[in-house]
Amino acid sequence: MTILWETDQGAAENLRMALGAKVLVVDSGPAAIRHLADDQRETLLVVGPDVDLTAALTVTEQLRLDRPEVGVVLMRRRLDLTLLSHSLRSGVREVVGADDLAALTEACQRSVELSRRLAGNGDSTSKGDGRVITVFSAKGGVGKTTVSTNVAGELASDGSRVLLVDLDLAFGDVAICLGISPERSMSDIVAMSGHLDQRGLDSVVVSHDSGVEVVCAPSSPADADHIPAATVTELLHVAKGLYDYIVVDTPPAFDEHVLAAFDMSDVSILLATLDVPAVKNLRLTLDTLDLLGHPRESWVVVLNRANSKVGLTIDDVATALHRPIAVQIASSVSVPAAANRGVLLVLDDPRHPVSNAIKTLVRDHVRVSSRNLRTGETDAVAARRSDYRDLASAGRRFFRRSGA
């Protein structure tokens, strides 16, 4: 049964049609809390658009402490990012428009499913120990695939189990850079959506000589349109229980698939090169991630082809970004040469300057982050990360509806 908190009886009757027959309408926050306390099986509270926002967030904060498995879906007549920020930080799972009944139905379904998993009835395959590393740049041609593949290879070199996901669904190059010819790809996971498990994932991955296992992009760009963001989320959720590290190579765009990956990420490797468009796009990327609430401590800014003589200096880039450059990777003809041979430079020539930079990136910013999160010393960071992911998820839905 869904508990609906709405003071306007007319609005409550209209919402019943979207929520289904089993709806209990209450007219106050204390009444909602009492009903949730009386029946521990109830896990969904919908707050109507006419309920005072402060009262709604106060009840949400109390439920977050007393009944964290209860999901609160908040309806509002006007949506903006300030509202989303306050709501998600108080513990609201989803915010939907007052007139968007289809979005309300979908939000309630997602909330119920999440509550089911939190209660221990979800996918038991995933223990959630693996760490997700997303490699991103909003500009193409800066070396995302080179960094992604070599980071994955370096992580696998110590025996760790590593999955590399090519999320550039229309024009991904991971398979060709690794010299593999996959029979199956991300598009084959769609048919398993909602019930993906280890066996299903194993049927799609391709093994590389480096030990890295790969989920490749579809061979046809048209297939990208048929892969929902929810499939990406489910893939990463299952993979976190099976692999030590999941490295995600991305397209140069903030699409829903990329935002789904950022929602799951523990480390975000953000790339730029020594040219004004790349620096500008990275600055916009940092601003966008900040707006969506992604924790800054997870960002790793990497400058690729850092020795190029093109009129910009590394200090210029750091000043423009208001953030230090964590790792510098030199330009070298050995990089495309290795890709043309289908080998990873970090393994083929471990002493190469580019290989050394990749090793530094992995040692100082990927393995350390993962190790810290496995200990108790960053529990507060992990808790904030959960809040940030909730906010980012809501922000993603807001951008989709607004067309931003």
Please indicate, yes or no, whether residues 354 and 220 belong to a single structural domain of this protein: yes
Residue after which a domain boundary falls, among 122, 143, 161: 122
Note whether residue 52 is domain-resident. Answer: yes
Please indicate, yes or no, whether residues 327 and 227 belong to a single structural domain of this protein: yes
Please indicate, yes or no, whether residues 179 and 323 belong to a single structural domain of this protein: yes
User: Looking at residue 258, which CATH number applies to its domain?
Assistant: 3.40.50.300
Q: Single out the residue of 163, 336, 183 nearest to residue 238, CA to CA.
A: 163
What is the pLDDT of the chain when averaged over all its residues? 84
pLDDT of residue 382: 44
Beta bridge partners of 300: 269
Which structural domain, as residue segments, surrounds residue 9? 2-122
Beta bridge partners of 45: 3, 72
Is residue 361 within 8 A of residue 327, CB to CB? The reply is yes
d(CA 92, CA 83): 11
Structure tokens of 137?
Answer: 């740049």
Note whether residue 403 is domain-resident. Answer: no
pLDDT of residue 123: 43
pLDDT of residue 119: 60
**16-to-3, 34, 48 alpha-carbon distances in Å:** 10, 21, 11
Structure tokens of 123?
Answer: 């996918």
Please indicate, yes or no, whether residues 93 and 34 belong to a single structural domain of this protein: yes
Q: What percent of the chain has pLDDT over 90?
A: 38
Coil, helix or strand at residue 140: coil
Please indicate, yes or no, whether residues 112 and 68 belong to a single structural domain of this protein: yes
The beta strand positions in 12-60, using DSSP E, are: 23-26, 44-47
Number of domains in the chain: 2
pLDDT of residue 394: 54
- Measured from the Cβ of residue 223, the count of other Cβ atoms closer than 10 Å reads 17
Please indicate, yes or no, whether residues 207 and 337 belong to a single structural domain of this protein: yes
Which amino acid, one-letter code, is at 49? P
Note whether residue 402 is domain-resident. Answer: no
- Measured from the Cβ of residue 10, the count of other Cβ atoms closer than 10 Å reads 9
pLDDT of residue 35: 87
Is the pTM above the cut of 0.75? no
Q: Is 332 exposed, middle or buried (0-12, 13-18, 19+ CB in 10 A)?
A: middle
Please indicate, yes or no, whether residues 175 and 218 belong to a single structural domain of this protein: yes
Note whether residue 315 is domain-resident. Answer: yes
The model's pLDDT over 53-70, given as tens digits with 9 standing for 90+, comes to 999 999 998 888 788 888
Which amino acid, one-letter code, is at 156? A
pLDDT of residue 393: 53
How many residues are present in the chain?
404
Note whether residue 385 is domain-resident. Answer: no
Note whether residue 265 is domain-resident. Answer: yes
Note whether residue 244 is domain-resident. Answer: yes
Residue 197 is inside which H or E element, if any? none
| 246 phi and psi angles, rounded to 5 deg | -125, 115
Is residue 136 within 8 A of residue 285, CB to CB? The reply is yes
Residue after which a domain boundary falls, among 122, 146, 169: 122
Tokens 């402060």 belong to 54
The model's pLDDT over 336-377, given as tens digits with 9 standing for 90+, comes to 999 888 899 999 999 999 999 999 999 999 986 444 444 433
Q: Are strands 23-26 and 2-5 parallel, antiparallel or unpaired?
A: parallel
Please indicate, yes or no, whether residues 162 and 257 belong to a single structural domain of this protein: yes
Note whether residue 393 is domain-resident. Answer: no
The model's pLDDT over 264-276, given as tens digits with 9 standing for 90+, comes to 899 999 998 888 8
Is residue 167 within 8 A of residue 224, CB to CB? The reply is no
Q: Is 53 exposed, middle or buried (0-12, 13-18, 19+ CB in 10 A)?
A: middle
Residue after which a domain boundary falls, among 122, 141, 168: 122
Please indicate, yes or no, whether residues 79 and 104 belong to a single structural domain of this protein: yes
DSSP character for 142?
Answer: S
**With the C-alpha atoms ordered 41, 43, 49, 51, is the resulting torsion angle positive or negative?**
positive
**Which positions of the chain have pLDDT values less than 50?**
121-127, 369-389, 403-404
Please indicate, yes or no, whether residues 64 and 81 belong to a single structural domain of this protein: yes
Please indicate, yes or no, whether residues 316 and 186 belong to a single structural domain of this protein: yes
The beta strand positions in 71-175, using DSSP E, are: 71-76, 94-97, 131-136, 162-166
Please indicate, yes or no, whether residues 112 and 139 belong to a single structural domain of this protein: no
Angle between helices 353-361 and 144-156 (to 10 degrees): 70
d(CA 247, CA 239): 11
pLDDT of residue 368: 61
User: Looking at residue 97, which CATH number applies to its domain?
Assistant: 3.40.50.2300
